[in-house]
Amino acid sequence: MLGYLIRRILAAIPVMGVVALFVFLLLRLTPGDPAAIIAGDNATAEQLDRIRTQLGLNEPLYTQFFSWVWRLLHGDFGTSLISNVPVLQMVNQRIEPSLSIALSVMLVSILVAIPLGVIAAWKHGTWIDRFVMALSVIGFSVPVFVIGYVLVQVFAIELRWFPVQGFRSISRGFGPFFERITLPTVALSFVYVALIARMTRAAMLGVLGEDYVRTARAKGINESGVLFRHALRNAAVPVITVIGTGFALLISGVVVTESVFNLPGIGRLTVDAVLARDFPVIQAMILLTSGVYVGVNLLIDLAYALLDPRIRY
């Protein structure tokens, strides 16, 4: 197990290396002078010089790369070209809305999608099954910003149950926080519910025909025990895999949701940075989100060994 743990962590290093190289080359490989791209069309020679020195653009390419990676490894993700604030500090100030949405979407989706998928597989071929499958195709196809605006129109503007947009920190009371996070959570949950319910159904269909399910039923275990204790546990690996790979979808979704509901999170930070060509911030955000994605999937790989005694490394 320890050997597997170490091997798995080592395997994540080249992946992050590729991400770092790609992010680094992104600016250098675009045609034209990187300093001019960042500064925009109306930059003076002085501004260009300042950017070149700040980003070390006068050094040879490989020196730039390794000194950049060296700084990253020491926790220095650079400084915003616009506000001159260290990127990590900016992220720190704006992580709460994003983290709140991501976690609540994950929680809600898992609580909704897994029972849906289990029931669909249990009632395979019935209208319940078809309804769940239809819901999952729709959830997958209707963009989060369309769902978001429909929810705002109905529940915030017509019914006035929730505020239209904005965010309130949980430290200022759970009520206002909950009010403002509900619609974004529901909007973004659709796609994640669709993804997880679909996979749960497919995995459950695979195991429901197994001998041990028949044995459990023959022993007289009640149906929910058969479904959730015997079948679902064996169907868990692909479901958990898709929760992990779907995390990339979740990150992209958070970026869009924050724009719809005007939440001051790291998604908004990234979009603003892109529109302002604040390159150190863009670089850091892609690196950090990729790092989170790799980390989540690493944890999931390790969870397999605990969940499924058949997997031995």
Compute how many other C-beta atoms are within 10 angstroms of the C-beta atom of residue 238.
Answer: 14
Number of chain positions touching other proteins (CB under 8 A): 53
Residues in contact with 155: Cβ distance below 8 Å, sequence separation at least 6, in sequence order: 161, 162, 183
**φ and ψ at residue 86, rounded to 5 degrees:** -55, 140
CB of 235 to other proteins, least distance (A): 9
Q: Which of 272, 270, 302 is nearest to 287 (CA)?
A: 270
Is residue 97 within 8 A of residue 167, CB to CB? The reply is: yes
Choices 54-62, 70-78, 91-99, 253-261 (CB under 8 A): range interacting with other proteins: 253-261
132 binds other proteins (CB under 8 A): no
CB of 169 to other proteins, least distance (A): 25
Distance of alpha carbon 111 from alpha carbon 230, whole angstroms = 18
Query: Which of residues 9 and 18 has its CB atom nearest to other proteins in the complex?
Result: 18
Stretch 62-81: interaction string toward other proteins, x if CB under 8 A? --------------------
Among 241, 304, 305, 307, binds other proteins (CB under 8 A): 241
CB of 197 to other proteins, least distance (A): 14
Q: How far is CA 90 from CA 17, 23, 31, 145, 280, in A?
A: 24, 19, 29, 25, 12
128 binds other proteins (CB under 8 A): no
Q: Which two tokens stand for residue 233?
A: 């546990």
Which residues of the chain form contacts with other proteins (CB under 8 A)?
Answer: 14-19, 21-23, 26-27, 30-31, 37, 137-138, 140-143, 145-146, 149-150, 152-153, 157, 164, 199, 202-203, 206, 238, 241, 248, 251-252, 255-256, 259, 270-271, 274-275, 277, 279, 282, 285-286, 289-290, 293-294
